[in-house]
Amino acid sequence: MIKLFYYSDAVPFLTYGETAVEKLEENLELLRKQSDSVHLIWHLRNGTGDILRSNGSEVADRLEFIRSEYIRLGAGELNEDPEGSPGFYEAISGCDAYYGDPSDACCYAQLNGIPAMIQGFFK
C-alpha cells in the first residue's frame, strides 16, 4: 500500500476559489476510491478557514464541510500538526510520496528523497 501525504495550502483557495475547491473534492473522492491501495494523509494548512474569511473568500464554509466529511467518512488520516513541527515532518517522512500545493512541505519531501508532484488548477 502506498502512503500519500496530500498538502492543501490556503493560497489556491484564495486565488482560484471554487475551482480549487472542486479540484480538492475530485482528488479526495478519487483517493477515497483507491483506499485499498493508497493510504492518504491529508494536511489542510492550519488556519485556512480564518485566512479565507479574513480575505473575503466565499469558499471557507464549503472547505470546512469537505474537511468534516473527510473525517466522517474515514477517508484517510487528517494531519493537524502545525506546519514546521516535528509531527508535521514525521508525517511526511513516513510517506511514500507527496502530492499537493507548493510549500515547505514539498521541499522537505524532495530533500528527503520522497517523490513530489505539484497539483495544478488548469483544465
Provide the CATH topology of domain 2-118: Rossmann fold (3.40.50)
State residue 39 phi and psi, 5-degree precision. Answer: -95, 115
pLDDT of residue 122: 64
Distance from C-alpha of 74 to C-alpha of 103, rounded to nearest angstrom: 26
Distance from C-alpha of 71 to C-alpha of 30, rounded to nearest angstrom: 16
Is the confidence at residue 121, as pLDDT, over 60? yes
Domain boundaries, the chain: 2-118
pLDDT tens digits, 76-91: 999 999 999 999 999 9
Residue owning grid cell 498538502:
7
DSSP 25-73: HHHHHHHHHTTTTEEEEEEE-TTHHHHHHHTT-S-HHHHHHHHHHHHHH
pLDDT tens digits, 95-117: 999 999 999 999 999 999 999 99
